[in-house]
Amino acid sequence: MVATVFTRCSVPVAGLLPVMLAGLLATGCGRVVVVTSPAVPLGPLPGSASGLPGNPSSTPGQSPLTSPVGISLLPGQLGRGPVVEGVDGADLDRLVAAFGREGNFCGSVLVAREGTILLNKGYGMADVTRNVPMPHDALWDWASVTKQFTAAAILKLRMQGRLDLDAPVSRFYPSAPADKAGITLRHLLSHTSGVNQDAEPDMGDGSRDAVAMGFLKLPLAARPGTRFDYNNVAYFVLAAVVEKASGMSYEEFCIQQLFRPAGMVEACFIGSPTLDLTRVPREDRGRGAQFAYGYQLTWGYRGAGGAVVSPREMLAWDQALRGDAVLDLAAKNELYKVQLQDYALGWQVRSGSGETIWEHGGAVGKTLCHYLRTRDSKIVVAVAVSYESASLGRLVEELLGRARGPKA
């Protein structure tokens, strides 16, 4: 049986992180096809410095090339328990605790600077019924933050010569309607396909190609490349393209080509047989489901969400992107190249305190998350909570400010 349901997702608003996170609670966008099935649970980072793209250009499409930069984690930090590092870590911990007093904070927080973890702790309860506290290494569905992994997978395939960012999607779906001939993979990645996201697609039986064709049969609301319109279903199509171009499942490709080379030894997806469900928090502050759409990843969520990663391995992802373990410099230039509405390929890009910030938020069910990286100060903030929080954006901004330290 196939059911079409609405899901909240992160809608980037240029330069307005608090508004963006608060908007998650009020904005419904995208549709998810859930193929119903029994909810039965399934069972040394590289230090090379190959370079990072630079500050975002105010001109859409301009490439942000700069000089090489690289950093690495302190020895053993990926394997440690909860971390409150020094005076700065204690300050960050007090900040999160204060939010807890205000609104019963329940989630996981990681803050790192130049590869050193300042704070990594769990707060509140992961499972109230079993009386399980939130672990520091909780495994979260990062919802729309997953889009950056899908974008990286497409760019990895481009590096391997298997596809072209500016190739039409009809190369993979020749029966696509003629009016979709101008839609490229870049358009799908940057939410500029022009497809009307308010129209309800016919997802057929919920299979990969039925979902992709359902999207491609929707009417155009704008000429491709001319309007930003956040669209989850476009990322379902991109996941399908990953499979068609690689000959592997989307999950297998991401795990083998992205996660493991990045030193993310546990990162996987909903439904992965290696997923440790004992570390997956229940939403609604430990009282609800572990996954909003059940224990299997379907084509109504694949590509747009469903990556299950601990906050500490999100730091490993940052480290990998600062080197060449996953993507080369040319690929990273494409990854961060702003298209429209300060959105690049799976990332929102903005400037703050004189430096570039790469970030993305996500929301699924009652789980909210945000992942933020700064280019020059090399700060990473990864926060996931198991409840609907209107103050999450404020917390992320305050954690970033404290991690930067006092102004000179």
Q: Assess contact for 345 and 151: CB atoms under 8 A.
A: yes
| Residue 105 to residues 60, 111, 275, 284, 322, Cα–Cα distance (Å) | 38, 16, 25, 11, 31
Model confidence at 199, pLDDT cuts 50, 70, 90, reads confident
Q: pLDDT category, 371, cuts 50, 70, 90? A: very high
| C-alpha distance across the termini of the chain, in Å | 60
Distance (Å) of CA 12 to CA 27, 135, 204, 296, 318: 11, 29, 30, 27, 20
Name, of 68-82, 91-105, 327-341, the range with top average pLDDT.
327-341
State residue 93's pLDDT score: 96
Phi, psi for 178 (deg, rounded to 5)? -60, -30
Q: What tens digit of pLDDT does each residue of 274-312 get?
A: 999 999 999 999 999 999 999 999 999 999 999 999 999
Q: In this structure, are residues 211 and 299 in contact, taking their beta carbons and an 8 Å threshold?
A: yes
Longest dimension (CA), the chain: 61
Q: pTM of the prediction?
A: 0.85
Q: Distance between CA 247 and CA 155 in Å, rounded?
A: 16
- Encode pLDDT of 127-176 as tens digits: 999 999 999 999 999 999 999 999 999 999 999 999 999 999 999 999 99
Query: How many CB atoms are closer than 10 A to CB 236?
Result: 31
Whole-angstrom distance, CA of residue 37 vs CA of residue 291: 13
Structure tokens at 100: 């807890």
Cross-strand partners of 116: 113
pLDDT for 7: 40
Exposure of 8 in the CB half-sphere (CA atoms within 13 A): 21
Which residues have C-beta within 8 Å of that of residue 407, sequence separation ≥ 6?
none
pLDDT tier, 104 (very low <50, low <70, confident <90, very high otherwise):
confident
Q: What is the pLDDT of residue 220?
A: 95
Give the ranges where 217-279 is alpha helix by DSSP (H).
Answer: 232-246, 250-254
Whether the predicted pLDDT of 34 surpasses 70 = no
Length of the chain: 408
Kindly list the distances between the CA atom of residue 97 and the CA atoms of 102, 122, 201, in Å, as whole numbers in the listed order.
Answer: 9, 11, 44
Segment 374-398 shows an average pLDDT of: 95
Q: Evaluate if residue 214 carries a pLDDT over 60.
A: yes
What is the per-residue pLDDT for 4? 33
pLDDT tens track for 226-256:
999 999 999 999 999 999 999 999 999 999 9
Which residues make Cβ contacts (< 8 Å) with residue 94, sequence separation at least 6? none
Three-state SS at 307: strand
Q: Which residue shows structure tokens 């690495």?
A: 72
Indicate if the pLDDT at residue 366 is higher than 50.
yes
Domains of the chain, each with CATH number or no CATH? 2-39+57-404 (3.40.710.10)
| H-assigned helices in 117-184 | 147-159
Q: Is the pLDDT of residue 197 over 80?
A: no
Instruction: Identify whether the C-beta of residue 118 lies closer than 8 Å to the C-beta of residue 89.
Output: yes
Mean pLDDT of the chain: 84
pLDDT in the model for residue 291: 98
